Amino acid sequence: MDRKVLKGLLIVIACVVLVVSAVFVFVIHSYSELFTGVLYGAIGVVFFVVMAKVLSLIQREGKQDD
Amino acid sequence: MIDISSIPNIPPVLIYFAGAALIPLFGKGRVRKIYLIILAALGLIGVAALRSPAPGEWEFSVSGFELIFLYVDPLSLIMGYIFAIIGAAAILYSLDVVKENGEFVCGLLYLGSALGAVFAGDLFTLYIFWEIMAFSSLGLIWYSRTERATNAGMRYILFHLFGGCSLLAGIIINYMSTGSISMVSAESGIGHFFVEPGIGYFLLLIGIGVNTAFITLHTWLPDSYPKATIAGAVFMCVFTTKTGVYALARTFPGAELSLFGSEIPFVAYMGGVMCLYGVIFALLQNDVRKLLSYHIISQVGYMVAGVGIGTYIGINGGIAHVFNHILYKALLFMCMGSVIYATGRNNLTELGGLAKKMPVTTITCVIAALSISGVVGFNGYVSKGMVIHAAELSHMHILALALMLGSVGTFLSFLKLTYFTFFRRNDEIEAKEAPLFMLFPMSVTAFLCVAFGVYPKILYEILPYRTVALQYHAFAVGHTLGTLELLAMTAFMFFSLRILITPHDKITYDIDYLYRKAGRGFIWFCEHPLLRFAVGVERRVLRIADSFIMFGKNPLRGARVMIDTVGVSLLKPFIFVFNLVIHPVYKYYERDLEEVKMRPVEEMEKMSIGTGLLLIFLFFALYLIAMRLAGLV
């Protein structure tokens, strides 16, 4: 890849990281209590999906009463 | 206007028990339907008209124990109201589904005994109705008349007998230490029955824990409820676990256990564990009624947590959740019963596409799903919020987090249930809407779910601590916004990660797998080592009996053989020495003894009666002389 393009990409990535960080630090952090629902929702879904995947290891074909 | 005080103050249990006894007189047609509708109405009126009985009214003295069959306070009343309401709904729902009178008898006995338990004023009366509940609900499982139901029923009753025995032992031990069987001393509040710490305390807790489905004691619930009859499951999802929560609120509110030098509110934390455990296992289920059964454990977790926190708002939240949960859980079982009734299928993998074919069932099921998930404007939101708020006020942040995560899991699994039952495309399925008698109670219950969600003050008015309840703001902006965000995020992630929680035709092992293994091990132990031991003991006993018979036929010869046998037994350990020194003598001696034993027993020479009597007197005289010499006569 061209050296100039690489440099440009790097700058864009750095800017995006800076902007996202700034939004999180200055905007969302100041009103964090307003986003707890979103946070718990995301954590909860991930937790249950992971637990379901872990427990699926002990699943088997058939009926419980076999 | 009817003066409510003119209605007799009778225990509601009598209405339902009498109703059950009379059912066979009404055949199986329209007359039976009318009779059951009247009975449901009478039950509702009977509970609505209840008031505190006069001293001595409905109290009986049995062997020195004061048995109180009717104790009315705000806690028993709210339980009575909701039992009667949903009992009436379940009776109506059963009218078209249930064919056999026996099933109605079981349902009414179950409903009556649950009301008997919540209006009991002492532990023995509670225990009596507790056991009637176990046996009558067993009928609702066995009326499915399948082998799986029969086996599940056996496991169910074994669990409940174990719980009943623990409860009775706990009651007796507690009575021995406190001298009281009353649950309702004269102080204010509901949790004023103090259990003496010790073995009785734990036995009571185990007894109540079985009915409340504490984790490790819960396996009877998801095992048996999905195998009950369609109407039976509607009755069963209401009474057993909620009576357990009621008993817990009476006996163990705010109970703490001393562990590592600090007091742990273990009942509250057990609630948190139940909440998460039930949800995780519910997510993995394919059978719709099994999914709902695991959600009973999860939702009862909120109630147990509320009662375990033990503060006024905690107990209020727990009891409010009992009330609300009964409404939406019964509705969910009714909806799934309708689906099974209409399609004959009960697995999510086989369902789908029912939204257009069964619109009323779909709408009522969605209302129930939103209620159980705690969506704003539905009744579950109010009581769940109250329990979580109580946990936060008591600085139990881990418990509050567990309960909040439980909400996420609940919404996730009800998105799964409703999506895969009603909205997923399935062109093969054939179904038509459930009969009117099923739809009517479903619609009324759905209406109540919305009514108590939109206007929770009606519920606050009947809670045990009314003034505290009226100060609770269910629709505080922060709480409402947080809940909406939580649920919106869950819905978004469900549709993004749907592929990961698609139902599969598989089963998941629960703790009962270990119980079954242990049970099989116990049966093997009984059939092999224990049986061999028993056969060995039997053989030896028979040999001893044979020896006595032989001895009796000819005592002289018998005595000689016995002495010789004992001699050989004593000499056997020294066989090595004998083999070296007098080997032949020992060998022939043993052989001769065997020969003597094998020889037919010759009868003794018979004596005349006079000689016999003479011998008896002679022995008697010798006996007297010996006694005289010993100074005993």
Angular region, B8: left φ>0, alpha ψ -120 to 50, beta rest: beta
Is B500 within 8 Å of A53 (Cβ atoms)? yes
| pLDDT at residue B497 in the model | 78
Q: Which residue has the higher pLDDT, B218 or A1?
A: B218
CB–CB contact A48 B478 (8 Å): no
Q: Tell which of A32, A34, A40 to mutate to test the B interface (max B CBs under 10 Å).
A: A40
Among A7-16, B61-70, B228-237, name the most confident range: B228-237
pLDDT at position A57 is 78
Nearest chain A residue to B516 by CA distance is A65
Q: Does the pLDDT value for residue B296 go beyond 60?
A: yes
Q: What percent of chain B has pLDDT over 90?
A: 60
Measure the CA angle with vertex B214, ends B208 and B219; round to 5°: 110
Taking the mean position of all CA atoms in its chain, how far away is CA B303?
17
Closest-CA residue in chain A for B402? A44
Instruction: List residues of A whose CB lies inside 8 A of any B CB.
Output: 33-38, 40-49, 51-53, 55-56, 58-65
ipTM field: 0.74
Residue-level pLDDT at A31: 63
Q: Which residues of B touch A37 (CB under 8 A)?
A: 481-489
In the predicted structure, residue B1 carries a pLDDT above the cut 60: no
pLDDT band at B583 (very low <50, low <70, confident <90, very high): low
Considering only CB atoms, which chain A residues are within 8 Å of B508?
55-56, 58-59
Q: What is the mean pLDDT of residues B339-365?
A: 93
Interchain contact, B489 vs A59, CB within 8 Å: no
pTM over 0.95: no
pLDDT band at B633 (very low <50, low <70, confident <90, very high): low
In contact, B93 and B337? CB cutoff 8 Å: yes
Partner residue opposite A45 with nearest CB, options B148, B482, B490:
B490
Closest chain B residue to A65, measured at CA:
B148
Judging contacts by C-beta atoms under 8 Å, the chain A residues touching residue B279 are 48
Smallest CA-to-CA distance from B511 within B157, B269, B214 is with: B214
The residue ranking higher by pLDDT, B91 or B599, is: B91
- The pLDDT assigned to B507 comes to 79
Residue B309 pLDDT: 92
| Among B35, B78, B92, residue whose Cα is nearest residue B442 | B92
Other C-beta atoms lying within 10 Å of the C-beta of residue B579: 12
**Inter-chain CB proximity B408 and A56 less than 8 Å:** no
Query: What's the whole-number mean pLDDT along residues B544-573?
Result: 78
Nearest chain A residue to B413 by CA distance is A48
pLDDT for residue A39: 78
The model's confidence at residue B307, banded by pLDDT at 50, 70 and 90, is: very high
- The DSSP 8-state label assigned to residue B528 in this structure reads I
Could you tell me which chain B residue has the CA closest to the CA of A61?
B506
Lowest mean pLDDT among B75-89, B199-213, B392-406, B557-571: B557-571
Q: State which residue of chain B sits closest to A66, comparing Cα positions.
A: B148
pLDDT at A38: 80
Q: Which residues of chain B make contact with A38, given a CB cutoff of 8 A?
A: 485-486, 488-489
Residue from A33, A32, A36, A54 nearest A44 by CA: A36
Give me the pLDDT at residue B584, please. Answer: 60
Mean pLDDT lowest for which of B187-196, B515-524, B600-609, B619-628? B187-196
Tokens of B441: 């109670």
Distance from CA of B405 to the nearest CA of A (A): 5
Residue A48: the pLDDT is 87
CB contact under 8 A, A35 and B490: no
pLDDT, residue B66, reads 85
Burial label for B127, CB within 10 Å (0-12, 13-18, 19+), is buried
* Residue range B258-287, pLDDT digits in tens: 777 778 888 999 999 999 999 999 998 989
Paired sense of beta strands B257-259 and B65-68, if any = unpaired
**Residue from B467, B176, B414, B381 nearest B292 by CA:** B414
Which whole number is the average pLDDT over B371-400? 93
d(CA B104, CA B90): 11
The distance of B509 to chain A (nearest Cα, Å) reads 7
Residue-wise over B528-542: b if at least 16 C-beta within 10 A, else e?
eeeeeeeeeeeeeee
Yes or no, beta carbons of B506 and A59 under 8 Å apart: yes
Question: Do A37 and B485 lie within an 8 Å CB cutoff?
Answer: yes
CB atoms A48 and B281 under 8 Å: no
Residue type for position A50: V
Token duo for residue A43? 């954590």
Is the Cβ pair A36, B482 closer than 8 Å?
A: yes
B516 to chain A nearest CA, in Å?
A: 10
B536 band by pLDDT with thresholds 50, 70 and 90? very high
Provide, as residue numbers in chain B, all residues whose Cβ is less than 8 Å from the Cβ of A47.
405, 408
Q: Which two tokens stand for residue B25?
A: 């007189």
Interface test with A, best of B404, B411, B487 (most A CBs within 10 A): B404
| Residue from B420, B424, B384, B382 nearest B402 by CA | B384
Residue B474 has a pLDDT of 87
Which member of A42, A56, A65 has the closest CB to residue B489?
A42
Q: Looking up tokens 């079954």, which residue turns up?
A: B516
Residues contacting residue B16 through CB under 8 Å, at least 6 positions apart: B39, B43, B87, B108, B109, B111, B112, B115
Amino acid A30: pLDDT? 62
Which phi and psi angles does B623 have, rounded to 5°? -65, -45
Angle of the B359-372 helix axis to the B379-393 helix axis, nearest 10: 10
| A45, A49, A55, A58: best to mutate for the B interface, most B CBs within 10 A | A45
Quick: pLDDT tens for B482-534: 888 888 888 888 888 777 778 888 778 888 888 889 989 999 999 999 999 99
Determine whether the interchain pair A51/B280 forms a contact, defined as Cβ–Cβ distance below 8 Å.
yes
Token pair for residue B266? 């273990």
Quick: pLDDT tens for B208-236.
Answer: 999 999 999 999 999 999 999 999 999 99
Is-contact B152 B290, C-beta < 8 A? Answer: no
Amino acid residing at B539: R
